[in-house]
Amino acid sequence: MEEPIPVTRDVDHGTAKLMPDVDRDRAWLLTVDGAPQSYVDLDAPTHLEFEYAQRLGHVLEVVAEPGRALDVLHLGGGALTLPRYLAATRPGSRQHVVEADRGLLELVVAHLPVPEGSGITLHAADARAWLEAAPSDSADVLIADVFGGSRVPAHLTSVAYARIADRVLRRDGVYLANLADAAPFAFLRSQLATFATAFEELALIAEPGVLRGRRFGNAVLVASHRPLDIAALIRRTAADTFPARVEHGLAVRDFMGAAAPVRDEDAVPSPEPPDGAFGIG
């Protein structure tokens, strides 16, 4: 059998590279301009390599009873890690994936094809523009994992955007976002304040070292109108190889402090990661 070889392509928003994992036969790491974007094992779609992806997976496990099919909207495609995961864990789910980089989508589909009948539909479009045109009350879960380079685009951080997301979600729907920040957490606090204007329940999942301000890192924002099973989330995240903390209720309000919601006219991208924050060896 031929050894898989790396694939490098210029895509719309940078240089993408697919690198095979020497330890897993059909597993690949996707990077864009050197920053890791996704990890996919084609033989084991439920394997979530990245810590933030594992935390998103934990939330997806508790949003509904096991195995129930869901209508899911993904903003940001990458290598389609979470769509593949949901197709395996919640068969019959209808999933729409919106990715602004058409060249990246074409690269992923060509080299890491999605199985037929997976229920995954791909759209090459700007995330907010697509969301603004989406039908109301059409999604059970909305997952935002959109990075322009290594930064969340400004137009996906405002109150207007949060309210559009709320409109598209059903009343018992759940919004999830992969964010990144470091102390003093101006961006993360502002995002909590922003989503508090549209949703009643908020939670934040991150490694304790990130929350203590020791390093730059990912944090998963969870927003909904209904309480989630926080106890189950705490158990799942605590059992990870790199355990995370789940902040909710008053702890989230305390963390938010006096941060103000973000208006469209004041929105800025998430902070630039320090050198090496998300690099690979």
Specify burial of residue 148 (Cβ count, 10 A radius: 0-12, 13-18, 19+). middle
- Bridge partners for 27 per DSSP: 41
Residue 25 and residue 261: Cα distance in Å, rounded?
A: 46
Mean pLDDT for 224-239 is 96
Q: How far apart are CA 74 and CA 72, in angstroms?
A: 7
Closest alpha carbon to 232 in 246, 219, 218, 243:
246
> What does the pLDDT average to over 30-54?
94
pLDDT for 262: 98
Strands in 27-32's sheet, in edge-to-edge order, are 7-11, 14-20, 27-32, 35-41
Cβ-based neighbour number of residue 248 at 10 Å: 18
Determine the average pLDDT of the residues in 271-276. 82
Q: Strand 120-124 vs strand 217-224: parallel, antiparallel, or unpaired?
A: unpaired
Give percent of the chain with pLDDT exceeding 70. Answer: 97
Q: Are 202 and 248 within 8 A, CB to CB? A: yes
Tell me what percent of the residues of the chain surpass a pLDDT of 90.
89
